[in-house]
Amino acid sequence: MIVAELRAWLTLLDINDNFVAYLGDKEAICTNDGWPNNKDTSGEIMPTGLHTPGKFNSPQGIAVDHEGNLYVAEGLIGRRFTKLIKE
């Protein structure tokens, strides 16, 4: 099972619901002011500049296609979808 955690990672569990691994940078990004978005100099929330390839910001949804590829949706301002290809 794969669980989309809002704290910048995915949690992988085995068939018996035992922890296997985290995918992502865990909570490092969550300490940025305005997370999961950014704040401008006046303190207003604005689209994030925190999108880093290969790292999640705030994954909120997941799906798997017929080939086993994983799609991760992040619903922050400016939305992002990441495709993880099964090898």
Location of structure tokens 């995918």 = 23
Spatial contact of 67 and 86, defined as CB atoms under 8 Å apart? yes
Cα–Cα distance, 9 to 63 (Å, whole number): 15
Could you give phi then psi for residue 80, rounded to 5 degrees? -150, 145
Per-residue pLDDT of the chain (87 residues; tens, 9 = 90+): 888 887 788 999 999 999 999 888 766 777 777 777 778 888 887 777 667 777 787 888 999 999 999 999 987 777 788 899 988
pLDDT on residue 66: 96
Q: What is the distance between the terminal CA atoms of the chain, rounded to a whole angstrom?
A: 18
